[in-house]
Chain A
Amino acid sequence: MDHWIPFWPDTAAVNAVVVNNLYIAELGLAGVIMATVIGMMLTFCIRYWRGSPASRANRVQKTWHFEIAWTVATLAAFLVLFVWGAQVYVWLFEPPPADEEDYVVAKQWMWKIEHPGGQREIDALHVPVDKTIKLVMASEDVIHSFFVPAFRIKHDVVPGTLEVIWFKADKTGVFRLECTQYCGLQHATMTGQVDVLTGADYARWLTDQGVHNSLVQQGEAVFRAHGCSGCHDQNSTVHAPSLVGLYGTLVHLQDGSVQLADEAYIRDCILNPRSFTVAGYPPIMPDFSGQISEGDVFELIAYIKSLKGAQEPDK
């Protein structure tokens, strides 16, 4: 372990570069503001201390000229920062098409990760370099927050819903993963590491795990075990919405609202079906909350997303 005093974190993802630039610009502005205030304060304190003979005549009487000047100046600078920050924020929180999707389950006090090939790991995440990785995250108990300082990405993992973030590492290496939302006794040790590997090393790592069933295959097994297939299979005679090609479409609900069928929507439909009845279908789906773990939900989601094809308008 090196004993240099660290001043700056690793910068190991395209996300981190973009945030770094904004951070440096803000440090610059902060420096200018501090220098202005300290400079004025020091100048005035030295020039106008009690014993100084400097003239005090002709003090500024009309102050509003100055006040308007620095109101406008600060407002303009602030608006630039606001727009810049908002643009990057939207970019950070709207995932682009991903090369790989991994699933993260947070619980007191560990990170459980599942890869699409069915590989599982705890408190560690292996990813290939220069690939866009999308993480779908759920919590089994309290609010956690997934944070990789070297990537400058963070998102709370709130129980009862799914959260999505993405990153694209551009350096290989091992980077710290931590929880930044206080989550109970061992919050401080709810850490892990992100191993960014070259493409070849990553492929080797995946095969070394010796897993036989991919996440989709596991999901299909869950789909049958919980009886989902009884209604939602294409051959089923029950009047239930088709899941083929569902992911990413807009769904019209009975209550008149329109929902994007993303991961969170699919999860909500499984665990709280009565609130998400699809228009034109009877509300007959049983409630699976409490019977199915967040890990199983992820497998189901992976399976449902794999059902490619045209969404039928109505059965």
Chain B
Amino acid sequence: MSVTTVERAASVEPPARSQPSYLTSGNTIASWLLTRDHKRIALLFLASITFYFFIGGIAATLMRLNLATPQGLLQPAVYNRMFTMHGIIMVWFFLIPSIPTTFGNFFVPLMIGARDLAFPRVNLASWYVFNLSGLVVLYALIMGGADTGWTFYTPLSTVYANGYVFAAAMAVFINGFSSIMTSLNFIVTIHRMRAPGMTWMRLPLFVWAIYAVSIVMLTATPVLAMDTFLLAVERFIGVGLFDPNHGGDPLLWQHMFWFYSHPAVYIMILPAMGVVSELIPCFARRPIFGYSGMTIALMSLAILSFFVWAHHMFVAGISIYAGIVFSLMTFFVAVPSAIKVFNWTVSLHKGSIVFDAPMLYALGFVLLFTVGGVTGLMLATLAVDVDLHGTYFVIAHFHYIMVGATVSAFFGALHYWWPKITGRLYPEMWARFAAILTYVGFNLTFFPQFILGYLGMARRSYTYPAVWQSWNLLSSAGASILAVAYVLPLLYLGWSLFRGLKATANPWGATGLEWTISSPPPKHNFERTPVVVTEPYCYDPERHTFVTQEGVLHDE
């Protein structure tokens, strides 16, 4: 590894912090609600999305409870509202903001050596807009919910559905502005505020991932705003946009919706890839395999994600030649994903691997993402998609990516950065247990759904033939394990806030700039602007040393 200036670190910890941490500098409610500190805003977002995660989770629990038996438990109308609200809340109020607004907000400035994001007020406004949209979606939910599915397919959503479709669509509309503000902030920050020496090819891969996802968010989200606006226009004024009885085209909605919502899948997975690219080198104690390949793969995923949308429409009546083109593009997008999976796996080769909870989550991520990836190939294959489209196979596939992979990475990030965020260590054995439980519960929940899908069970059905009950029961049983695995961290992490051991500045022995400052970080991050002299991930498994990006050599 090419380290230009290597100096031995002092064997003692940094001296007692000279200024209060971001947590203790100001204790009034106003100091939180009006804060412009990216770290506090990250925690505000963390609180909001955790709330919505559990709301969406309650809807999912009711669905699995209903599907445990063919005759079900809920009224059809209730079940239909549950899966719709589950989809809307989980996609726009948890998955899309999840990693960027929390860990991205907190750590992008720290990792590039900046004192804040470029536009702190825009960052705070983003949180308020997010919560405004959250109130609208809660209003829709409490008043009775919408029952169109999260995809709002026309003309069902514009002409036939009762429910609070307008409120739900407006929540999505408003939510988009939060995405746009946050992503704009990241792009400007990463371009303009990197510390001296932090060149593009020295950026940690998490920052690259946030950069890639911000570009996708900034360019795709306005299309979603147009979609939902047009939806409202047709629903209220009856202008024939999507309704064929008034000269509209129902497929126009699908094209416009997926033009946003397919890139949105990458909005959910790219940050997770960034997180895992931080975790694996740190716990394998060796540099990431193929850093530049990883950056190229990230950016090609971001760009290719815009050219595959109609693979959601292979049986919707698009031209078969369009189907062929979109299938080919979908296979192309699988190539960078495959590169990333192989690079993560080979990043374990000749490492010195420690199996702490973040690493268990990261390894779980790679396996679940690979299952989601290979089943994605099957769905990309035109003839097979004709059979599998609209069945539980699709449900299983995208939950492997968006829940299995993304939520594993989210929990991995939460554990990895918990000491930095809170200044406390979490109980390691409990965390390892939760990580393994997540993996087991997840597979039990969703693997049976692949089989159900090929058997022909249609998605969004509140009932099914009795012969399929065994798989559904297994899935519901798995969901109860998964629920425990998701609630458990809330308990022991909460406990650690008060009783956890104090964390040192760099408990994992990681190389990023965020670990060179005290835990929790001081209000203005860096006392002096750091100077970066080396690439990230300079871990040496042979000598058990590592070099931070400032070029300081440490023993483990």
Contacts and interface: CB of A to CB of B under 8 A. Distances in A.
Interface of A: 1-3, 5-9, 18-19, 22-23, 26-27, 29-30, 33-34, 37-38, 40-41, 44-45, 48-50, 54-57, 59-60, 63-64, 66-67, 70-71, 74-75, 78-79, 81-82, 84-94, 108, 141-143, 145, 147, 149-150, 152-156, 158-161, 163, 176, 178-189, 289-290
Nearest to B355: A49
The 5 closest A-B pairs by CB, nearest first: A160-B244, A149-B456, A180-B390, A85-B381, A88-B383
Contact of B250 (A19, A26, A93, A159): A159
Contact of A44 (B315, B342, B349, B462): B349
B320 interface: yes
Nearest to A91: B383
Contacts of A158: 244, 250-251, 316-317
Contact of A56 (B249, B327, B350, B468): B350
Interface residues of B, number: 92
Given A8-B454, A184-B160, 12 more contacts: A63-B343, A70-B342, A85-B383, A152-B386, A155-B315, A158-B244, A159-B245, A178-B458, A182-B80, A187-B458, A187-B461, A290-B245
Nearest to B319: A93
A56 B545 CA distance: 13
A264 to B, nearest CB: 10
Contacts of A185: 76-77, 80, 147
Contact of B327 (A86, A153, A189): A86
Interface of B: 76-77, 80, 147-149, 153, 155-156, 159-161, 244-245, 248-251, 284-286, 289-290, 293, 314-317, 320, 323-324, 327-328, 331-332, 334-335, 338-339, 341-343, 345-346, 348-355, 363, 366-367, 370-371, 373-375, 377-378, 380-387, 389-391, 451, 454-456, 458-468, 470-471, 541-542
Nearest to A152: B387
B352 A48 contact: yes
B351 A48 contact: yes
B112 to A, nearest CB: 24
A56 B540 CA distance: 9
Contacts of B454: 8-9, 23
A49 B335 CA distance: 29
A44 B456 contact: no
Contacts of A29: 374, 377
Given A37-B341, A70-B339, A142-B155, A63 B381 contact: no
Contact of A82 (B244, B381, B391, B465): B381
B422 to A, nearest CB: 26
A9 B467 CA distance: 11
Contacts of A5: 470-471
A145 B315 contact: yes
Nearest to B389: A154
B156 A142 contact: yes
Contact of B323 (A23, A45, A89): A89
26 contacts: A2-B467, A7-B451, A26-B378, A30-B377, A41-B367, A45-B353, A49-B353, A56-B352, A66-B289, A66-B346, A82-B331, A85-B381, A89-B382, A92-B386, A143-B156, A143-B316, A147-B458, A149-B455, A150-B456, A153-B386, A156-B317, A158-B251, A176-B456, A179-B458, A184-B161, A185-B76
A6 B327 contact: no
B352 A160 contact: no
Contacts of B456: 9, 147, 149-150, 176, 178
A139 B410 CA distance: 43
Given A37-B367, A67-B290, A74 B334 contact: yes
Contacts of B80: 182, 184-185, 187
A26 B148 CA distance: 33
A1 B464 CA distance: 14
The secondary-structure label for the interface of chain B is: helix
Contacts of B153: 142-143, 181-182
Contact of A89 (B324, B353, B459, B470): B324
B312 to A, nearest CB: 11
A75 B334 CA distance: 9
A248 to B, nearest CB: 18
Contacts of B462: 188
Contacts of A289: 245
Given A8-B454, A26-B377, A86 B382 contact: yes
A92 to B, nearest CB: 6
A60 B349 CA distance: 9
Nearest to A70: B342
Contact of B338 (A56, A70, A87): A70
B345 A59 contact: no
A283 B162 CA distance: 39
A6 B454 CA distance: 10
Which of B349, B459, B541 counts the most A-chain CB atoms under 10 A from its CB?
Answer: B349
A298 B14 CA distance: 82
B458 A180 contact: yes
B391 A180 contact: yes
A288 to B, nearest CB: 13
Contacts of A70: 338-339, 342
Contact of A188 (B76, B317, B320, B375): B76
Contact of B315 (A6, A142, A156, A182): A156
A26 B384 contact: yes
B382 A85 contact: yes
A37 B366 contact: yes
A22 B381 contact: yes
Given A6-B467, A29-B374, A160 B156 contact: no
Given A18-B383, A29-B377, A30-B375, A37 B370 contact: yes
Contact of B542 (A26, A56, A290): A56
A84 B381 contact: yes
Nearest to A69: B342
Contact of B367 (A30, A38, A67): A38
A85 B249 CA distance: 28
Contact of A79 (B331, B341, B363, B471): B331
B59 to A, nearest CB: 16
B541 A56 contact: yes
Contacts of A152: 386-387
Nearest to B325: A86
A49 B406 CA distance: 25
Contacts of B315: 145, 154-156
B253 to A, nearest CB: 10
A88 B384 CA distance: 9
Given A158-B317, A184-B161, A89 B383 contact: yes
Contacts of A60: 289, 346, 349-350
A81 B378 CA distance: 9
Which of A56, A64, A290 counts the most B-chain CB atoms under 10 A from its CB?
Answer: A56
Contacts of B324: 86, 89-90
Contact of B390 (A19, A84, A141, A145): A145
Nearest to B321: A90
B372 to A, nearest CB: 11
A89 B374 contact: no
B386 A89 contact: yes
Nearest to B463: A188
B343 A142 contact: no
Nearest to A4: B467
A30 B345 contact: no
B250 to A, nearest CB: 5
Contacts of A41: 345, 348, 363, 366-367
Which of A29, A34, A50 counts the most B-chain CB atoms under 10 A from its CB?
Answer: A50
Contacts of B147: 184-185
Contacts of B331: 78-79, 81-82
Which of A1, A178, A179 counts the most B-chain CB atoms under 10 A from its CB?
Answer: A178
